[in-house]
Amino acid sequence: MRDADIDYSDIPELTDEELGRMVRVRAARLKAARRPISIRLEPAVLAWLKRSGPGYQTRINKILREAMERVLSER
């Protein structure tokens, strides 16, 4: 079957919100490859991370990844 022969009329269009939540497959694989660890943070640092709502562990990962990439790019 060719792509042109596929009937998409019963599939609703994606909203801007849905498109905004999509992630690249590579990003999804990296997320799946994460390892659980234990980390000790100062209460003020943890409160600051949690203040933005759910996903504080993802924010920790993002902050650390950006720092890692910055250090690696300086070499």
Residue extents of the structural domains in the chain: 3-74
The residue ranking higher by pLDDT, 47 or 26, is: 47
**pLDDT, tens digit, 9 for 90 and up, residues 20-29:** 998 777 766 6
Pair of tokens at residue 72: 């690696």
How wide is the angle at C-alpha 63 spanned by C-alphas 58 and 68, nearest 5°?
Answer: 120
Give me the mean pLDDT over the 25-40 stretch.
78
Helix (H) or strand (E) holding 74: helix 56-74
Interacting residues of 61 by C-beta distance below 8 A, sequence separation 6+? 34
Give pLDDT, residue 5: 93
Helix (H) or strand (E) holding 31: helix 25-32
pLDDT level of residue 67 (50, 70, 90 thresholds): very high
